[in-house]
């Protein structure tokens, strides 16, 4: 698989400074600060260059809710 070239911009939870994070692979394209909001979460930590805070993102794919009727 080819790793995604484009990153996504996020904000530090402590100081609000922005940083760019890249998905770990082609399957885990959605990110959340909560592991239960994405399927098959992969935790990656990013250190803020401005304040030094460690921000954790959980990469996965969107949970899809559907009903069978």
DSSP β-ladder status, 54-62 and 30-32 = antiparallel
pLDDT digits (tens, 9 = 90+) for 4-47: 467 999 999 999 999 999 999 999 999 999 999 999 999 999 99
Is 44 part of any domain?
yes
Task: Give the domain extent around 29.
Answer: 8-62
Q: Looking at the domain assignment, is residue 68 inside a domain?
A: no
In a domain, 48, yes or no: yes
pTM of the model: 0.80
> Is residue 69 one of the residues assigned to a domain?
no
- State how far the Cα of 69 lies from the Cα of 52, in Å rounded to an integer: 50
| Residue 2 pLDDT exceeds 80 | no
Residue 55 is assigned to a structural domain of this protein: yes
The more confidently predicted of residues 28 and 3 is: 28
3 within a domain of the structure (yes/no): no
Distances (CA, A) of 20 to 44, 56, 59, 61: 13, 13, 14, 18
What pLDDT, on a 0 to 100 scale, did the predictor assign at position 6?
Answer: 76
Could you tell me if residue 14 is inside a domain?
Answer: yes
């Amino acid at each position: 698989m080819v790793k995604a070239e484009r990153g996504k911009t996020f904000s530090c939870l402590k100081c609000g400074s922005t940083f760019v994070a890249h998905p770990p692979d082609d399957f885990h394209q959605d990110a959340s600060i909560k592991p239960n909001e994405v399927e098959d979460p992969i935790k990656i930590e990013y250190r803020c260059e401005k304040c030094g805070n460690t921000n954790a993102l959980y990469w996965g794919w969107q949970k899809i809710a559907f009903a069978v009727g």
